[in-house]
Amino acid sequence: MDNILISSAQLIVPGHPQNGNIVDILIEAGNISRIAPRIKPTNKQIHVIDGKGRIVSAGFFDLHANFGEPGLETKEDIITGTAAAAAGGYTGVAVYPNTNPPIHSRSEVALVVNSAKGNIVDVYPVGTISKRREGKELAELYDMRLAGAIAFSDGDHAVQQAGLMGRALLYAKGFEGLVISFPEDESVAGGHQMNEGQMSTYLGMKGKPNLAESLMVSRDLFLAEYNDARIHFTSISTAESVDLIKKAKAKGLNVTCDVAAHNLVYTDEEVVGFDSNFKVNPPLRTKKDIKALLKGLKEGTIDAVVSQHTPHEVEYKNVEFQIAKEGILGLQTTLPFLIEAGFTADDIVRYLAVQPRQVVGKDIPTVEVGSEANLVLFDMNERWMLDTNTNKSKSENSPVFGQELRGKVKVVINHGQLVEIK
């Protein structure tokens, strides 16, 4: 990588002495060598990047993304997944075990870790809680941790057995591992197509009630408290879940949670057109739920925003809504969704760069002289279109495909590598 000068960008790094200031950042041999209000290039070997009107911060970190590797590479592999991540401003992603085979032993963990070596985006596998994600027998959590697993979850298969979940929490506690709960009571949610409410009644489709999520949140909070263990809830979507977690935090429980970006901007009213790209799990909820989720973020109840990036081949989405697979692309659209939801640059850095790393115990990249450059440069106002030219994923299952979006990542720098997004 050539020496790089980012000029006239607003630095947003909480706690930094120059937080909020317009600065130039000089990067030499992959490390930050100087930060000043004005740096004049000393030779022609410096690649100058115009940061005027743009934000520079530590690279984003996604707590919940799905790649297809191993076994489902036709959906997404590590190369295309990390390309989409970089285009979305991410320098780190946690990938879930919704693969075939699942990431349920040290072999699969090692495969993902080794396949991602040398990439501009750091890839952290999330190992399963149970073998084969069947919810019957505890997987080899500690072995996976030693091989590089950052946390443990059964992905979109919620653990239905309370005893198994309790044992996972207790066992992971012994080596400071993190158990992630995808809260869904299948006996209540079974066979759902969308959110249960007026719209599902109007459309005549089986709905998933808020109760299916809040029941499981309540159960797992009880289990975490009983075992004095930490727990993280991913992709919460209801007002009831926010309230339960808020009370648990006030009580002193070691609990964190995240929300998917699309659940902050879309409601179940979008489903009226039967566009399968609005079919997600948890489903799109109501305006009341979105209001509670936004409030939960601002109050600190919700710790992070995730992409819940879930690519699918066209044959799984370009079908009737009832039989379509759940999930949408998210890595490249999380920033625009947060801008649409009304968040400031400071909010975005907090929910995408700082607090996600705190959840999994990863160091927040420092923007200091002498530190390795791990940066994102993004524009809050630039408009662009997600289409076949800009999409980096193998798949195209996004509700905003072909639409103009506001908020664009311009540059990602990490491990001495530079990606400029055109």
Same domain, 321 and 177: yes
Q: Using omega within 30 degrees of 0 as the cis cutoff, is the peptide bond preceding 282 cis?
A: yes
Mean pLDDT, residues 309-338: 97
In tens, the pLDDT along 210-265 reads: 999 999 999 999 999 999 999 999 999 999 999 999 999 999 999 999 999 999 99
- Angle between helix axes 239-251 and 210-226 (nearest 10 degrees) is 20
Mean pLDDT, residues 99-109: 97
Residue 273 has pLDDT above 80, yes or no: yes
Rg (CA), the chain: 21
Same domain, 26 and 144: no
How far apart are the C-alpha atoms of 131 and 28, rounded to whole Å?
Answer: 46
Task: Please tell me the predicted confidence (pLDDT) of residue 271.
Answer: 97
Q: Please state the φ and ψ torsions of residue 377, each to the nearest 5 degrees.
A: -115, 120
In this structure, is residue 8 part of a structural domain?
Answer: yes
Mean pLDDT, residues 170-181: 98
Residue 258 tokens, joined: 């995240």
In this structure, is residue 326 part of a structural domain?
Answer: yes
Same domain, 46 and 125: no
CATH of the domain at 251: 3.20.20.140
Same domain, 195 and 148: yes
Residue 112 has pLDDT above 80, yes or no: yes
With bands split at pLDDT 50, 70 and 90, how would you rate the model's confidence at 44?
confident
Residue 191 has pLDDT above 90, yes or no: no
Q: Are strands 207-208 and 194-195 parallel, antiparallel or unpaired?
A: parallel
Task: Please tell me the predicted confidence (pLDDT) of residue 140.
Answer: 96
Same domain, 134 and 48: no
- Angle between helix axes 287-299 and 239-251 (nearest 10 degrees) is 20
* Partners of 383 in beta bridges: 406
Task: Please tell me the predicted confidence (pLDDT) of residue 42.
Answer: 78
**Domain residues for 46?**
3-56+368-393+405-420
Domain count of the chain?
2
Mean pLDDT, residues 310-314: 97
Nearest CA among 94, 53, 47 for reference residue 378: 53
Same domain, 279 and 375: no
Residue 408 has pLDDT above 90, yes or no: yes
Residues of the chain with pLDDT > 70, as a percent, come to 100
419 CB-side CA count, 13 A = 24
CA 326 to chain centroid, in Å, comes to 16
Residue 1 has pLDDT above 70, yes or no: no
- Angle between helix axes 162-173 and 210-226 (nearest 10 degrees) is 50
Burial class, 63, CB count within 10 angstroms (exposed 0-12 / middle 13-18 / buried 19+): buried
Q: How many residues are given for the chain? A: 422
Same domain, 382 and 240: no
Q: What is the DSSP letter of 351?
A: I
68, 99 Cβ separation under 8 angstroms:
yes
In tens, the pLDDT along 381-401 reads: 999 999 999 999 999 999 999
In tens, the pLDDT along 50-85 reads: 999 999 999 999 999 999 999 999 999 999 999 999
Residue 2 has pLDDT above 90, yes or no: no
